[in-house]
Every structure is written in structure tokens, then in C-alpha cells.
Structure 1
Amino acid sequence: MRITQGCFSFLPDLDDVQITRQVEYCLENGWAIGIEYTGDPHPRNTYWEMWGNPMFDLRDAKGVMMELDGCRTAHGGKYIRINAFCDERGVESVKMSFIVNRPAEEPTIHMQRTDFVDRAQKYAWDVRR
């Protein structure tokens, strides 16, 4: 199963040239970049681990790519995403987010449906790795 979260999630994985172009777009719009990683990509898990601090003052995509390479070296078997933050409304809000690294084998979610009285149905699921 392929985890589909953020921009470009239904497209094939972006290569480093395409990631660099997206980072350049974000920087051209004045957005700050943050890199996050997790081993648990469940949609309700909105708090991924931060890789370093958000790069508010960075204006060069090469710096972001260097940080991404460091994160991949340390956490290459996990999900890694890039977030672009905008502060135009006085708070940091995410304008763009996309996954840039996936583990070799992604988890699958098994859905179990149970029928009850009066056609009621209950669902349960578990994550299988």
C-alpha cells in the first residue's frame, strides 16, 4: 500500500532534481522550509519528528538538499517530508507538504468488518508491516 499524504502523493516519487525545483518554488514565494520524519505515517499522526530547526532564513535550495541528505542518512528507512511554511497571516501555516523519502516496504492496513444485529456493521483495523 502506498501512503498518499501531501502534494504529489498520487504521482511517482520525485527525484532530487524535482525536489530541488519544488524547494526553489517555495523559497521564491518566501516560505520557510522544514524537514520531518516518522516511522508511523498514519493520517492522524500529524506530529512527525523535526529534523533540525525550520529554515526560516535560508534562501538557497542547496542548503535544504544538504539537510535532506543528512536526514536520509540518519533515517533513510522512514518517511521524510518537506513542509513549506508561510507567515503572512501572523502565524506559521503549512502552504505545501510532500513526501520525499519512503521505506523500502510500506505498511499495509487490514480492515475487518463485523456484521451485527439490524444490519449494523463495525469496523476495526490494524497496521501490518
Structure 2
Amino acid sequence: MSAGPPPCTQASLAAPFTGLKSNVAFPVTKKANNDFSSLPSNGGRVQCMKVWPPIGLKKYETLSYLPPLSDAALSKEIDYLLRNKWVPCLEFELEHGFVYREHHHSPGYYDGRYWTMWKLPMFGCTDSAQVMKEVEECKKEYPNAFIRVIGFDNVRQVQCISFIVSKPPGVL
């Protein structure tokens, strides 16, 4: 056998280490300005921020911090869902419209996550009016139910959006 040149490897092609680069190429940082008088503050005069009150109001789903949406606003949300090629699906809950803990206290477990499906998912739906019609039918059948619309991505097999479209009378 003839001993030819050694095989060329990735390691032999890399340039040898020549040391660290000079810090001359890096930008000079300014000294910290310790004058905080020009910075914004959340002082006593600022009253534009409000936190969610922990007593008396439940947080339900996406958009639950807003006032109830009009039919036109709900239609726009459903149009967004359809533009993203998600499949609309309606669900309803007769007792609790929020996640809670009653039967188990370990981390990650919550009651109230799964709701009853209203009919089958609306595969092939292309118009928000079709979804709104189903919402109205569900309201007629269950006037005291929480009703939500879900956008399901049937390619990734995940729920991508969910929001309440109707609450029972008297519920905030």
C-alpha cells in the first residue's frame, strides 16, 4: 500500500487561533447618567393605568378585559380567525365560564377547561356571518350559557384563538 497524503479534514482547514481581537473596534459606551429627574414615573399624578380588581370580577378568556364586543367587532375577530385558515368552533358552558380549582390542587390542573361543543367544528366556513348565525342559535338553545368561539388550526392540530362571545345575563 502506498502512503498518500493525509486525508483533508474539517479541523485541518480551519485557521489557527491567533488571539483575542483588540477592543478598539468596539464602540465607546457613555457613562451612566445618574440624573433621574427626566425619566418618566408612575407618580401620584399618573392615573391612566388600572389593574384588574381581584375581587368580584372574573377573567374569562382573551379580550375579557374589554367591554362586551358589538356584533360588528365580533365579526371582525371571526374574520381574523378565518383569514388565518383556522376552523371556527363554538363551545358553551352552563355553570362556570372561567378556569377554577375545585377537585385537585396540583400545579397545572384546572377545572373548567373543557366545555361542551356546539355541533361540529365548522370545516369549510368562509364567512363570519355563518359563525354569528350559529352563535345566535346557541344563545336561543342555552340562554344562560357562556359561549365562546375557538379557532382551530387543523394542520398543526392546536387551538390558536379562543374568546367569549356571550355571557349569561347579569354576569360581568
Q: TM-score range by the shorter chain?
A: 0.7 to 0.9
**Other structure's SS at 1:46 match:** coil
Structure 2 residues without counterparts, runs of 5 or longer: 1-55, 100-110
Q: 2:83 matched to 1:18? A: no
Taking the aligned partners of 2:86 and 2:78, their CA distance within structure 1 comes to 9
Q: Which has the larger radius of gyration?
A: 2
Taking the aligned partners of 1:85 and 1:54, their CA distance within structure 2 comes to 9
Contact 1:2 1:106 in 2 (8 A): no
Aligned counterpart, 1:85: 152
Write out the 4+ residue segments of structure 1 that deviate beyond 3 Å after TM superposition: none
Taking the aligned partners of 1:104 and 1:98, their CA distance within structure 2 comes to 17
Q: Deviation per CA, 1:100-128, whole angstroms, max 9, x where unpaired? A: 11112339xxxxxxxxxxxxxxxxxxxxx
RMSD: 1.6
Q: Residue 85 of structure 2: which of 11, 16, 30 is its match?
A: 30
Which residue identity does 2:154 align to in structure 1? D
Structure holding more strand per residue: 1
Q: 2:113 matched to 1:46? A: yes
- Residue pairs, 1:53-92, within 5 angstroms: 53-89=120-156, 91=157
**Other structure's SS at 1:65 match:** helix
Which residue identity does 1:52 align to in structure 2? K
TM-score normalised to structure 1 length: 0.75
Which residue identity does 1:7 align to in structure 2? T
What is the CA-CA distance between 1:17 and the residue it aligns to? 0.7
Aligned counterpart, 1:103: 168
Q: Residue 3 of structure 1: which of 58, 68, 71 is its match?
A: 58
TM-score normalised to structure 2 length: 0.57
Between the aligned residues of both structures, percent identity stands at: 30
Answer with 40-49 or 19-28: which moved more.
Answer: 40-49
**Other structure's SS at 1:99 match:** strand
Taking the aligned partners of 1:49 and 1:17, their CA distance within structure 2 comes to 26
Taking the aligned partners of 2:135 and 2:64, their CA distance within structure 1 comes to 18
